[in-house]
Structure 1
């Protein structure tokens, strides 16, 4: 069960992180075109069984981007009372709509729980899809549900460094930023703000 929790966390977070700071003060979208989605799926071979041969079309891209909007809206809810990512603050999907979309999308891919219980260990459950082919958005929705209902959700944070739009999993109590570069940018910005009036 722990492996599926980690997988769900990684997939849900990786999907949300396809929206990122572009390096010039704006927001970039790694899923701006079908080629971006194709590359993303191929870089995540455990999403669908056919990931290595996957080629996205316009309909796939639209569906995944809509699902990502729902996931980011629910991430914004999960980080409350903290602020959401700057990329989401002004254009969040309403939470009830996000939950409905996530559940409806996840339902397109039935899973079968398979119990494993070795003589010397605790029982574990593996989820299998009954067909080799599976719906990409359904797989992503199920991963997002697993993450949002799991223990890692409590450690989800929005990075509030200047220009950053990422969410991250807080790995230790003093962590405030998604990566060291964001911490450096935030400290520099605070330094400039403090000394702006003294020059």
Structure 2
């Protein structure tokens, strides 16, 4: 699977597995580990000479904020990642940061054409200090990512608690990975179950009330007897007594 520095930089803000948000660049050690795992992607960057200190961390985090703000713009009208949706940089500031970092290291294009391979365009960065080289490489990748066709596939995962941006593999893909899809389906099932409970309870209560009122209703015979006037009952009894006394 092809990797993209801009997407991986944005992905250093992630779900921590416990309902919160983790920051892989929250300290200098985190930055050092992140760079070490991406030396192969940092073409032209003297990453091994970079001293990962607080100034370096602050510079990379500032660039990450710009990338995530532009990612949020790129996924419109869809929702941005909820991790920082309420505190995104203004687009103008995000663009300024990206362009300034990219411009800090001039590059020269050159043609590479090995035997038995197609020609390729390469970039030869001008010599700069390692931190400037790092932020320039990250900014150049963000420019290429957002100005190219990959932008149309960028989405924010909509699964509960997920805060990642990802590239769609097909048009119906909503989630960055299978576990997020499973979690979203479980959440929908739970919401439907909870919504059905009040109506079920109301139906059971109505049936119970109907049963009580039915048992309280008197029988038709009882209604007929109670509706017969007392005088009529007595007259009928006396007539039967006279008939039995006749020879």
TM-score, normalised relative to structure 1: 0.89
TM-score, normalised relative to structure 2: 0.72
Bigger helix share: 2
The alpha carbon displacement at 1:117 in A equals 5.8
Of the candidates 117, 133, 140, which is equivalent to residue 142 of structure 1? 140
Deviation digits for residues 132-170 of structure 1, max 9, x if unmatched? 854211111111111111111110000010000000000
Mapped partners of 1:118, 1:139: distance in 2? 24
Structure 2: 5+ residue stretches without partners: 198-247
Mapped partners of 2:87, 2:191: distance in 1? 28
Deviation digits for residues 1-37 of structure 1, max 9, x if unmatched? xxxxx56xx1000000000011121111000001100
Contact 2:105 2:128 (8 Å CA) reproduced: no
How many residue pairs are counted as aligned between the two chains? 192
Greater Rg by CA: 2
Which residue in the other structure is 2:123 paired with? Answer: 127
Equivalent runs, 1:2-151 vs 2, <5 Å:
10-45=4-39, 46-47=41-42, 49-52=45-48, 54-116=50-112, 124-131=120-127, 134=130, 135-151=133-149
Contact 2:157 2:174 (8 Å CA) reproduced: yes
Structure 1: 5+ residue stretches without partners: 1-5
Mapped partners of 1:118, 1:194: distance in 2? 60
Deviation digits for residues 41-81 of structure 1, max 9, x if unmatched? 00000325433454410000001001000000000000011
